[in-house]
Amino acid sequence: MNTKLLAAVLSALALAGTWGAETQSPSPATSEAKPQMHTENQPKAGETAPDFSLPSGDGATVNLKDYKGKWVVLYFYPKDFTSGCTLEAKNFERDSSKYQGEGAVILGVSVDSAQSHKDFCAKEGLNYKLLADPDGKTVAAYGSGMDYKGAKMAARNTFLIDPQGKIAKVYTAVKPAEHSEEVLKDLAELKKKA
């Protein structure tokens, strides 16, 4: 078969394929999986923060009431060892001395295991407590649950809790890169008003 004939046959097949694709009904578009949020119980500023008792990566059990008299940055995040969560965690670690200077403690919560938190803290050099909530009860109490691609996890929300145990500020769907600085700024403002 000569090359001109072969080229003509291939061109005809390509055109037929294009025409056939245009006359067939389009297949349904596949959309990017979006998380389904569960914010039904999310406490608001001015309300008492729900108490909890959760294991940390260092083996201790942490209760919110243990921090009465201190400001608490309680942040929920989806998963250890993921890029956004690592960035957020490292930024809180970077700013930890500033939080200490403001009399605040940082606590991170996800549905990962205490062992996962221990490994994550060791790998990333995190020196504050990450709390394990594998059954998601505390995540639900703070209206911070989500389903993503069939997995239940925590949404990226933060609650700034005042020394009396009341929620001073709520942050939802936070941006990991700038979040720690935003919380520090708000903490300083809220302390001036207190």
Residue 183 lies in a domain: yes
pLDDT tens column, 39-54: 667 889 999 999 999 9
Domain count, the chain: 1
Determine phi and psi for 143, rounding to 5 degrees.
55, 40
Provide mean pLDDT across the span 89-97.
Answer: 95
Note down the domain range covering 134: 36-193
Provide the CATH number for the domain around residue 58: 3.40.30.10
Question: Is 9 a residue whose pLDDT tops 90?
Answer: no
Pair of tokens at residue 129: 């407590």
Active-site residue, from 85, 104, 105, 155 = 85
What predicted TM-score, i.e. pTM, was given to this entire model? 0.79
Instruction: Please report how the helices 83-94 and 114-124 are oriented relative to each other, as an axis angle in degrees rounded to 10.
Output: 60
Does the residue 13 lie in any domain? no
Matching residue, tokens 């145990």: 165
Q: Does residue 19 belong to any structural domain of this protein?
A: no
Residue 26 lies in a domain: no
pLDDT higher at 4 or 70? 70
pLDDT reported for residue 7: 47
Encoded tokens for 183 = 């919380």
Looking at residue 15, what is its pLDDT? 41
pLDDT tens across 141-157, in order? 999 999 878 889 999 99
Q: What is the pLDDT of residues 113-133, one digit of tens each?
A: 999 999 999 999 999 999 999
How many H helices and E strands in the chain?
Answer: 6, 10
Strand partners of residue 20: none
Residue 25: inside a domain, yes or no? no
Average pLDDT over residues 14-31: 40
163 and 68 Cβ atoms separated by less than 8 Å: yes
Around Cβ 128, how many Cβ atoms within 10 Å? Answer: 17
Looking at the domain assignment, is residue 130 inside a domain?
yes
Measured between alpha carbons, how far is 160 from 169 in angstroms, rounded to an integer?
5
- Residue 2, pLDDT score: 56
> What phi, psi does 171 have (nearest 5°)?
-120, 125
Interval 5-15 mean pLDDT: 45
Amino acid at 52: F
Q: Note if 85 is an active site residue.
A: yes
